[in-house]
Chains A and B, each alone.
Chain A
Amino acid sequence: MNIQVDEILDAKGLACPMPIVKTKKAMTNLEAGQVIEVQATDKGSTTDMKAWAESTGHQYLGTVEEAGVLTHYLRKASDAETKQETKHEDVEQLLDLQSKIEAGENLTILDVREPAEFAFGHIPNAINIPLGDLEERMKELDKDNELHVICRTGNRSDLAAQKLTEKGFPNVKNVIPGMSTWEGPTDKNN
């Protein structure tokens, strides 16, 4: 799996609690929203990373194990994400979206999470353009289609929906809450 990250931390060969301590340090140098890859050989590090993310509010994306190396992916949370402040008016409930998909409707789903988040599970056929790249990649999208914008909890997709509306997309829906509670089928990788 080829996953784009902002920072790579080599914690291979280190025993508990060093992978966590090093991750904590590396995380302070990241901007909110950035993704870090932590390479570790400590077998307990997967459960520790999950617990640590739970404690600190950062987002644990997933782990890939290959040749004895555990590669963990984490995303730094921002304060804004924990606050719910939805402004885009046209919202769509996640369950309604799921029913439409199950009914076989042909929808355009735009997933604005980071590629690393997208790689670990997304709605089949969703298009991935991270929020930060939306401005310049907007032209890849067809204005005639109804756009269903989704992220993890509904905040980034809200910002994306506002931005798209502002740029003249007539039919944009912000799907809430988002992939964090999605129970339908998912695809992995890109």
Chain B
Amino acid sequence: MANTKVAIIAANGSLFDAYKVFNVATAAAASDAEVGIFFTFEGLNLIHKEAHKNLPLPEGKEHFEEGFKQANVPSIEELVGIAQELNIKIIACQMTMDVMNLEKEAFIDGIEVGGAASFIEYAKDANITLSF
């Protein structure tokens, strides 16, 4: 998969969404694909310095907390670290940041900040495009 490009949009902010995004992204990067994720709206929580360490379960699904522990799934913090280590490109949505009044410093290190056009430019020749 060395010549495969994966473009992902992360637009939601629950713990479930975070696992969908980071599991697929890190598996793709570990398979030698080039991976980029555009974080927009609630998706920004997944890369917020503090918020990503304590993401909420979706309403009514709180009972899954036990299952996550039992299955020994890695924490989102751990997956974010792996994503950075595997050189996954992280683009934070400028427009959402403006709306929510957030600065680049509020997010994890090594991110890019860009608009929709930045993502489109990245994704225009992607082999796989996913939205979560």
Contacts and interface: CB of A to CB of B under 8 A. Distances in A.
Nearest to B25: A17
29 contacts: A13-B72, A14-B74, A15-B71, A15-B73, A15-B74, A16-B23, A16-B27, A16-B73, A17-B27, A18-B74, A20-B27, A20-B30, A21-B26, A21-B27, A21-B82, A23-B30, A24-B30, A24-B31, A24-B86, A48-B27, A52-B30, A55-B1, A55-B4, A55-B31, A55-B32, A55-B33, A56-B1, A56-B31, A57-B2
Nearest to A23: B30
Nearest to A20: B30
Contacts of A51: 31
A56 B71 contact: no
Contacts of B74: 14-15, 18
Interface of A: 13-18, 20-21, 23-24, 48, 51-52, 55-57
A18 B23 CA distance: 9
B66 to A, nearest CB: 14
Interface SS, B side: loop
Contacts, number: 41
Contacts of B71: 15
Chain B: interface size category: 10 to 19
Nearest to B33: A55
Contacts of B2: 56-57
Nearest to B83: A21
B97 to A, nearest CB: 28
Contact of A52 (B31, B73, B82, B86): B31
Contacts of B33: 55
A72 B38 CA distance: 34
Given A14-B72, A15-B72, A56 B26 contact: no
Contacts of B72: 13-15
Contacts of B23: 16-17
A17 B86 CA distance: 13
